[in-house]
Structure 1
């Protein structure tokens, strides 16, 4: 199993999620986040919560089988890009095990 974590532009979330669901990827977590990076966007703002952040981002997380990683990365890249700096990043990590909270039993996903 692999965990895919993508930091993307908030205005691209709905389109990406729609295409992921159409491709059969139903389970994911989406959260609002703030970040900072090399890009100095003229529309950047200083956060009310954190003095060091300068951009709003969305964080998309899902766990898929190893053979589905390329498909998910392609969907996120295709529908998340604007071809401008600051489009985001995608990380892929190994997931050793997953357990259901309800039963405490290992879930093979």
Structure 2
């Protein structure tokens, strides 16, 4: 068994969940999270309480059999991609 965790943008979360359910995957956990894209410089930190550019994302987690990992990650990557390379992360 493997746990897969993905960080995706809110606008893609419904499509990712629908695609996973259509493929037969259930028991998917979702969390609303905040993340940072790039930290502020040293000078900016002296004048700001923020750590950098903060974005809202969804953390998706599910557990699958070892032989299903490639299929699940492919579904998440295909339906969760929004554009630039920094648009999401998938961990196994």
Per the shorter chain, which TM-score range? Answer: 0.7 to 0.9
Quick one: distance in 2 between partners of 1:29 and 1:59?
Answer: 8
Which structure features the higher share of helix residues? Answer: 2
In the alignment, what sits opposite 1:5? 5
> What TM-score results when the alignment is normalised by the length of structure 1?
0.69
Which structure features the higher share of strand residues? Answer: 2
Runs of 4 or more, structure 1, over 2 Å off, are 50-53
Structure 1 gaps of 5+ residues are 40-49, 93-109
The number of equivalent residue pairs is: 83
Quick one: distance in 2 between partners of 1:11 and 1:83?
Answer: 12
RMSD of aligned alpha carbons? 2.1
* RCO comparison, higher one (Cα < 8 Å, 6+): 2
In the alignment, what sits opposite 1:27? 27
